[in-house]
Amino acid sequence: MKKYVSFVMIAVLSSFLTLAGYTYFIKTYKQSSGKENNSLIHSQASQDSTNNFLHNAAYTPDDNNEYNVPDFRDIVKRTKDAVVHVRNTRYIQEYKPFYYGYRQGPIYKQEGTGSGVIISPDGYIVTNNHVIKDASEIEITLENKKTYKAELIGTDPNTDIAILKIEADNLQYLTFGDSDNLELGEWVLAIGNPYNLGTTVTSGIVSAKGRDLKGNKRIENFIQTDAVVNPGNSGGALINTKGQLIGINTMIFSMNGSYIGYSFAIPSNIVKKITDDILEFGSIQKGVLGVKAAELNGEIAKKLGINQTEGVYIYEIEKNSGADKAGLETGDIIIKINNIKVATMADLLGYLKTKRPGDKIEVTIIRNNTIKHFNITLSKNNAAYLKTLGLSVKNVNRNILYRYGISHGVYIDRVNNRLLYQNGIRPGYMITKINGQKIYSVDDITNILSDLADKQFTIEVVAPDGRIEKYIFQ
């Protein structure tokens, strides 16, 4: 019996010691974990004292966030009301064959939807051009369900940006962040109105920067994320952990029309520059470097006999351009602009889209294995000769457009096309559309015509007396 009692006492004592040791271990581990997390958070906050209201809120663990996962609740509360629902309405009339002509058919109403972002308290809104393209009416619905008729202020089809205005005051709005400072792996939020569901928030990381999705004809510079974006998100906000607008969600890469893992946004630095140009000048002010160049890779570098496989290789300098005056030469390799890395043509052209004529930039190049720096003043592409049309054209200001009673167009400065001249086209006419696409600058025309190549196209012109004429080129 005594032996039996001894065994029981030993068992009880062993269990007690095991339990006490386990409790002490867990307590010590939690205390040490807490100290490490707090120290890490303090370090992050001290690196940037300007972002203390959101960056810390997104990452600070609390009693309900034991594993330190991102918490975006505060960011969403501060930003969601600045993202709106955009509805566009088009009225389409069919023309049916009737004997030797056509007769008018019924008028159809067609609606489309998307998203937009309020960028000022007095009702200026940025969205995608494709969201409101050819709209007869545009309606904006705020988060509080109030609706407004919107006025189209201006568009830039090349960057797919449009600016709208509603008559309202004291609206919540988003400020622009610096998209050049985005880093791969950085957390972002996408806010929009997919499938007409209402305000929807998704999260992801920056997967890539400087994405070119259209090959060599039209270089773009998208931010790629894995935040879920679907039809209806177009024109919505991509937001960083400071609550700043760092992109406008524009498209997805998909075989079926729905999200499959990749989404793309126009960088905020481009959006801000386009917005400022439209509001201040009524047209896009494009800063021209004055070089013709090609993107380097291993194959091209081997043909050129150089070791550099990243950057932009200059093969022609435009006479009297900023690059020419500063001393750039053919064979130079651009590797940085304003200390920002240039690895691709998308990097170069994307950065130049954020600059205006007259802006000064520092270009870093490699010449004969030596790094050199040049200060260059960007010039303006105000005029162009359109060989396809036999016309010289130039940009004009809003006052001249107003005199013609139009909101967009470029001025015909010289006519070398005998057929057009015989049909009455003279200097002083305005080209307003090509194949239905609105023309805002000479760059618009050159871009459109380069895409059309040898295809048939129609141009629309406005005479000084306001007459609208159309011509078909084959």
- pLDDT tens for residues 368-386? 989 999 999 998 777 778 8
pLDDT for the residue numbered 100: 57
Segment 85-114 shows an average pLDDT of: 76
Tell me the sheet residues that pair with 437. Answer: 434
Cβ contacts of 54-61, under 8 Å, gap ≥ 24: 54/78, 54/241, 54/242, 54/243, 55/241, 55/242, 58/187, 58/241, 59/241, 61/37
Amino acid identity of residue 252, one-letter, is I
Q: How confident is the model at residue 315 (pLDDT cuts 50, 70, 90)?
A: very high
Compute the residue count for the chain: 474
Return the closest-CA partner of residue 80 out of 121, 118, 136. 118
pLDDT for the residue numbered 68: 64
Q: How confident is the model at residue 217 (pLDDT cuts 50, 70, 90)?
A: very low
Q: What is the distance between the alpha carbons of residues 185 and 393, in angstroms, rounded to a whole number?
A: 45
Q: What is the distance between the alpha carbons of residues 233 and 213, in angstroms, rounded to a whole number?
A: 19
Q: What is the distance between the alpha carbons of residues 434 and 439, in angstroms, rounded to a whole number?
A: 7
Answer yes or no: is pLDDT of 96 > 70.
no
- As annotated, the active-site residues are 130, 160, 234
**pTM assigned to the model:** 0.69
Segment 76-100 shows an average pLDDT of: 82
Reading the block at residue 396, the tokens are 């004009």
Provide the mean pLDDT of the chain.
Answer: 81
Return the closest-CA partner of residue 320 out of 294, 287, 283, 289. 289
CB 189 within 8 A of CB 300: no
Looking at domain 70-283, which CATH architecture does it have? Answer: Beta Barrel (2.40)
Q: What is the distance between the alpha carbons of residues 453 and 62, in angstroms, rounded to a whole number?
A: 61
Answer yes or no: is pLDDT of 62 > 60.
no
pLDDT for the residue numbered 304: 86
Strand ranges of the sheet holding 151-156, from the earlier edge strand across to the other edge:
147-149, 137-141, 83-98, 101-118, 124-128, 161-165, 151-156
Which of the pair, 67 or 365, is modelled with greater confidence? Answer: 365
Which of the pair, 25 or 404, is modelled with greater confidence? Answer: 404
CB 453 within 8 A of CB 473: no
pLDDT for the residue numbered 214: 63
Through-space distance between the first and last CA atoms of the chain, rounded to whole angstroms: 113
Q: What is the distance between the alpha carbons of residues 127 and 151, in angstroms, rounded to a whole number?
A: 13
pLDDT for the residue numbered 104: 66
- 458 in helix, strand or coil? strand
pLDDT for the residue numbered 359: 94
Cβ contacts of 446-449, under 8 Å, gap ≥ 24: 446/384, 446/386, 447/158, 447/218, 449/386, 449/388, 449/389
Q: What is the distance between the alpha carbons of residues 215 and 413, in angstroms, rounded to a whole number?
A: 33
Chain position carrying tokens 């006479």: 319
Q: Please write the tens of the pLDDT for every residue from 261-289.
A: 789 999 999 999 999 998 988 777 888 89
Answer yes or no: is pLDDT of 31 > 80.
no
Return the closest-CA partner of residue 132 out of 147, 113, 159, 107. 113
Q: Using CB atoms within 10 A of its CB, is residue 18 exposed (0-12), middle (13-18) or buried (19+)?
A: exposed
CB 97 within 8 A of CB 217: no
The CB density around residue 63, as the number of other CB atoms within 10 Å, is: 5
Q: What is the distance between the alpha carbons of residues 236 and 175, in angstroms, rounded to a whole number?
A: 14
Q: What is the distance between the alpha carbons of residues 66 and 60, in angstroms, rounded to a whole number?
A: 10
Q: What is the distance between the alpha carbons of residues 464 and 197, in angstroms, rounded to a whole number?
A: 47
Quote the CATH superfamily of domain 383-473.
PDZ domain (2.30.42.10)
Q: What is the distance between the alpha carbons of residues 137 and 159, in angstroms, rounded to a whole number?
A: 22
Q: How far is CA 438 from CA 91, 162, 277, in A?
A: 18, 12, 17
H or E element in which residue 459 lies: strand 457-462
Segment 330-352 shows an average pLDDT of: 92
Reading the block at residue 198, the tokens are 């209402």
Segment 138-155 shows an average pLDDT of: 94
35 HSE (CA, 13 A, CB side): 6
Q: How far is CA 406 from CA 250, 397, 448, 466, in A?
A: 28, 11, 20, 9
CATH of domain 287-380: 2.30.42.10
CB 288 within 8 A of CB 370: no
Q: How confident is the model at residue 178 (pLDDT cuts 50, 70, 90)?
A: very high
CB 459 within 8 A of CB 448: no
Return the closest-CA partner of residue 322 out of 358, 297, 365, 280. 358
Answer yes or no: is pLDDT of 164 > 70.
yes
The alpha carbon of residue 427 and the mean position of all alpha carbons in its chain are separated, in whole angstroms, by 36
Reading the block at residue 171, the tokens are 């609206």
Q: What is the distance between the alpha carbons of residues 136 and 163, in angstroms, rounded to a whole number?
A: 15
**Residues contacting residue 25 through CB under 8 Å, at least 6 positions apart:** none
Q: What is the distance between the alpha carbons of residues 66 and 37, in angstroms, rounded to a whole number?
A: 10
